[in-house]
Structure 1
Amino acid sequence: MKSPEQRRDSVIKDLVLLSCVGLRMVLVHGGGPEINSWLAKIGVEPQFINGLRVTDEVTMEVVEMVLVGKVNKSLVSLINQQGATAVGLCGKDARLLTACPAPNAAALGFVGEVSNVNPSILYPILSDGHIPVIASVAADEFGQAYNINADTAAGEIAAAVGAEKLILLTDDKNC
């Protein structure tokens, strides 16, 4: 493919096709490049430790706005335009994901790990033939938002719903 948009559109078309032939799927996404772009607009230089985004209060606010508000709704819209029906969610919705601070939270800030998955909100969406699209933002039991690695969130959700397959798509050159 010649552009990220073409790759994205191709993946969306494939997801919709799989949905049309009866496969039930959950799409879990991150959005690192988009987050970096918005951080640059407000003059914040992204920082990473071992591949994880250092997430202070300002960065967490941007992460949540970008992933939940922009990227999630864009993916939902693209899926809907291709003929399937997508439902946008994040880990905070219906307590789908409960987060806890990452072990190195002192250095990473509001980077979290998944401590619990409550997939009950997903079952009716899936049984009605819709595609849940989940942004990798969650909260702890006190409501504090956390940035969750999307690949990790996808694995935890796949395990919780008893998925037969887990497919990870990434732009990470180290994989």
Structure 2
Amino acid sequence: MNDKPTTDGGALPAYNKDQMAKAHILAEALPYMRRFTGQTFVVKFGGHAMGDEDLGRFFAEDITLMKQVGINPVVVHGGGPQIGKMLERLKIQSSFIDGLRVTDKATVEIVEMVLSGSINKQIVTEINGAGGTAVGISGKDGRLIEARKLRRAARDPDSNIERILDLGFVGEPFRINPEILISLAESSLIPVIAPIGIGTKGETYNINADTAAGHIAAAIGASKLIMMTDVIGVLDEAKQLIPNLTPAEISQLEDDGVISGGMIPKLETCLYAVEHGVDAAHVLNGKIPHALLLEIFTEHGIGTMISEPRAADDDEE
């Protein structure tokens, strides 16, 4: 044990600023730890943070701490960049429509191999190395995610005729069977889920990780859906972070063109979760070290929280 600071003539102990800052952080976090004990949080982990060794370790430490203080974390991960690299290595060409990878039979086999194999087990290993007890599963295990073929339509600008786009084995959830997750929540295990769905005839479907996380959060009655992205959250017209948003405010920002691009589908997932019983959805930058702890256990958080309107003294950020 380190020697404690000594006093000289009754003066206060010479604690350094770093020690005092740590004590302040712990004191600030305690009420949130008490509030969230026994609750389930679904955390979507993806983006560039997954490819950074240090950020992966920080994420694993945050998830482990959440479990140790009585929160039940459920991790859903993506893996688009890793899938792309593997397809390039195998010289399998792929294309995108509306941000979704067109997935033929050869591609879906690679997608499942990368998501359910290397990525899933890497995250499990990191959480176990941080002191947690993680178990890797996919949406096919226990028929956790039952999916159907996702259909998208596009209108020809010349003829104005709408045609159906074939995305191959890209799916969307139509039923979540949460029994396996409920059992894990009652144990010391932390589920880490690869977003692979199973069809009614046993087909394998590639599912967007954001979409899978939102549907899982709604199905298991999670208190929070936390979307870890590559941006700090939702920005206003001046490119400043908006800490709190309601569904009505998001709709207005979309109408005004303030929210656009890749943020729209993420917010649609957040809105789906909130509309189906999740207390709050959060969008935050996963590239910030210990982003989860900063968002959950501090007064103001670091990202954007989406929830239905509530009294000011009930706000969690």
The two structures have a TM-score, normalised by structure 2, of 0.53
Match of 1:89 in 2: 137
- Cα deviation 1:45-99 (Å, max 9, x = unaligned): 3311111111011110100000001111111111111101011110000010100
1:117 and 2:165 aligned: no
Q: Look up the SS of the partner of 2:228 in the other structure.
A: coil
Higher Rg: 2
Contact 2:147–2:172 at 8 Å: present in 1 too?
yes
Q: What is the aligned counterpart of 2:73 among 25, 49, 67?
A: 25
Contact 2:147–2:171 at 8 Å: present in 1 too?
yes
Q: Percent identity?
A: 47
Structure 2 unmatched runs, 5+: 1-47, 153-163, 232-260, 264-317
Match of 1:142 in 2: 201
Q: What is the aligned counterpart of 2:148 among 95, 100, 112?
A: 100
The two structures have a TM-score, normalised by structure 1, of 0.94
Task: Give the Cα–Cα distance (whole angstroms) in 2 for the partners of residues 6 and 14 of structure 1.
Answer: 12
Match of 2:236 in 1: none
Contact 2:151–2:166 at 8 Å: present in 1 too?
no
Structure 1 runs (4+) greater than 3 angstroms displaced: 171-175
Task: Give the Cα–Cα distance (whole angstroms) in 2 for the partners of residues 148 and 161 of structure 1.
Answer: 18
Contact 2:184–2:190 at 8 Å: present in 1 too?
yes
Task: Give the Cα–Cα distance (whole angstroms) in 1 for the partners of residues 96 and 230 of structure 2.
Answer: 16
Q: Look up the SS of the partner of 2:172 in the other structure.
A: strand
Q: Look up the SS of the partner of 1:167 in the other structure.
A: strand
The letter for the 2-side match of 1:112 is G
Task: Give the Cα–Cα distance (whole angstroms) in 2 for the partners of residues 106 and 138 of structure 1.
Answer: 20
The alignment yields a C-alpha RMSD, in angstroms, of 1.9
1:77 and 2:125 aligned: yes
Q: What is the aligned counterpart of 2:102 among 39, 44, 54?
A: 54
Q: Look up the SS of the partner of 1:9 in the other structure.
A: helix
Task: Give the Cα–Cα distance (whole angstroms) in 2 for the partners of residues 81 and 146 of structure 1.
Answer: 31
1:160 and 2:219 aligned: yes
The letter for the 1-side match of 2:222 is A
Say which structure is richer in helix.
1
